[in-house]
Amino acid sequence: MGVLLAVAVIGFGVVPPVARHYATKILGETLGREVSIDGVLFNPFTLAAEVRGAKIMAADGQKPDLSFERLNLNLELESIIRGGPVLHELSVDGLQLALVRLPAGRHNWSDVVERLGEQPESEGESRFSVGNIQLTSGRISVDDQVEGLQHELSDINIGIPFVSNLPVKVDVFVEPSLSASLNGKPLGISGRTKPFTEERETVVDFSLKDFQLPEWMPYLPFDPAFKLPSGVLGADMQLSFRQPVDASPVVAVSGQVQIDKLEVQDKAGAPVLTVAEFGIELADVQPLVNRFQFSKLRLMQPELNLVRLADGGINLLQLLPKSAPGEQPKSAKASAKTAANGAKKATEAAVEKPAATQDGVKPAAPSKLDFLLASARIRDGVVRFEDRSVPGPFRTRIEAINLDLRDLSTIGDMPAEIRLDYVSDAGEKLSHQDSLRLEP
């Protein structure tokens, strides 16, 4: 009884204030920031701990760059024999993270990153096991002072069943999931695993609604030669990963993607393309085996302005990212030459000796293109053409473009059926019906 009483007194009464003191001291010295913790609770009998009201202040000390309301963790006794922490559960509630993009490629965490980079690397590999990871009611704010934009990822809820590099088994009760709102628009990801099936299938569902494309134009990895005044993206996708016994893994994508109110302009602001609604339904897309099967494509009220410029160029090509003028840089040439030599050696080695198998799994043979578009529909389309390379210039248009396409495929002998109707600028109604076949 005396031992239990001593453990209770030390665990409940001594450990929390000592842990709070040293946690704020060590974190503050490591990060070079002011750190505060409102309180720590610890249960020595269940090894459960709770941290309340933690804050890491900004470099100027005016407001927190990171904070959370509550952190709960449940340590396992197995940690003693495993040589690393084994957590049965880790949950964080009310996480608030501020990110500020500054000029010259810096951000509000640059000083912390540089400080951590100056510290000597620890020897050996860190061993750990964390199960049932949960983040609830999180929020990330982004202040882009370079572009003058504000973004917010709010209502963040994340579930991660297990992260570990230790050979331990943890009772998992959390399913993989992610839900949040990006600039007020909901998005969600959830997953489920079927561990007892022969194919060990894992499925991830992804949902995105009302994603405003123009807001993200400044973050493209190239300088766009076009403007995007409007465009709303939505998606409901499913990613499936299967690992059949004695066979190559299968990665399949299905679902639908939709873009509404799309408007593309050239650099001068002249309209190039508008689309009221674009949608495509993926039936079975497996990139690893060259399979691309789509059940439906629809294009509503597309309007295309096609211009042949005075120098003979086409306005659509002017929208593509421009490569550097002149010859390739030496580094690019060297990389291309190295890649070519490597490909040549790999080909020669493959001819001399068959590829080895791994764990008895036969490597998949190269697959020919398996493409299928079961149905495509275009309604109320308009194409305007202007040729500025001739005196005048020459202008024409066709409108009321309606197209129906069925069973366009590279597999099988049945040709696709196509019907096209349109009205010329002279008011003539034209209709064409035919069949066609793709050659892979």
* Coil/strand/helix, residue 349: helix
The residue ranking higher by pLDDT, 211 or 382, is: 382
Q: What pLDDT is recorded for position 440?
A: 57
* pLDDT(256) > 90: yes
φ/ψ of 6, rounded to 5, equals -65, -45
List, as own/partner pairs, every contact residues 292-295 make where C-beta atoms lie below 8 angstroms and the sequence separation is at least 24, other chains included.
Answer: 292/369, 292/370, 292/371, 292/372, 293/370, 293/371, 293/372, 293/374, 294/372, 294/373, 294/374, 295/374, 295/375
Count CB neighbours of 333 within 10 A: 11
Q: Is the dihedral of CA 66, 67, 73, 79 positive or negative?
A: positive
H helix or E strand, kind and range, residue 350: helix 330-352
* pLDDT(104) > 90: no
Q: Which DSSP string corresponds to 190-256?
A: EEEEETTSTT-EEEEEEEEEEEEGGGGGGGSSS--SEEEEEEEEEEEEEEEEE--TTS--EEEEEEE
Question: Would strands 429-436 and 177-182 be described as parallel, antiparallel, or unpaired?
Answer: unpaired
Render pLDDT for 330-340 as a digit per residue (tens, 0 to 9).
Answer: 444 444 444 44
Render pLDDT for 211-233 as a digit per residue (tens, 0 to 9).
Answer: 899 988 888 878 889 999 999 99
Render pLDDT for 1-16 as a digit per residue (tens, 0 to 9).
Answer: 777 788 787 888 889 9
Sort 22 into a burial class: Cβ within 10 Å, 0-12 / 13-18 / 19+: exposed
Q: What pLDDT is recorded for position 198?
A: 62
Q: What pLDDT is recorded for position 126?
A: 77
Asked if residues 293 and 322 have their Cβ atoms less than 8 Å apart, the reply is no
Q: What pLDDT is recorded for position 333?
A: 44
Tokens representing 371? 């493409």
Render pLDDT for 154-186 as a digit per residue (tens, 0 to 9).
Answer: 999 988 877 777 776 666 667 778 888 888 888
Q: Could you tell me which of 59, 84, 85 has the C-alpha nearest to residue 74? A: 85
Render pLDDT for 283-335 as a digit per residue (tens, 0 to 9).
Answer: 999 988 899 999 999 999 999 999 999 999 999 999 988 764 444 444 444 44
Q: What pLDDT is recorded for position 220?
A: 82
The average confidence (pLDDT) of the chain is 85
Render pLDDT for 384-430 as a digit per residue (tens, 0 to 9).
Answer: 999 999 988 899 999 999 999 999 999 888 899 999 999 998 889 99
Q: What pLDDT is recorded for position 423?
A: 96
Q: Which DSSP string corresponds to 388-436?
A: TTSSS-EEEEEEEEEEEEEEEESSSSPPEEEEEEEEETT--EEEEEEEE
Q: Could you tell me which of 164, 159, 157 has the C-alpha nearest to residue 76? A: 164
What's the rounded mean pLDDT across residues 239-243? 80
Asked if residues 143 and 98 have their Cβ atoms less than 8 Å apart, the reply is yes
Q: What pLDDT is recorded for position 94?
A: 97
* Coil/strand/helix, residue 11: helix
* pLDDT(358) > 50: no
Q: What pLDDT is recorded for position 357?
A: 46
The domain segmentation of the chain, as residue ranges, is 1-111+128-183, 185-319+366-440
- Across 16-30, 78-92, 118-132, 333-347, least confident range: 333-347
Cα 50 to the center of its chain, rounded Å: 33
Q: What pLDDT is recorded for position 338?
A: 44
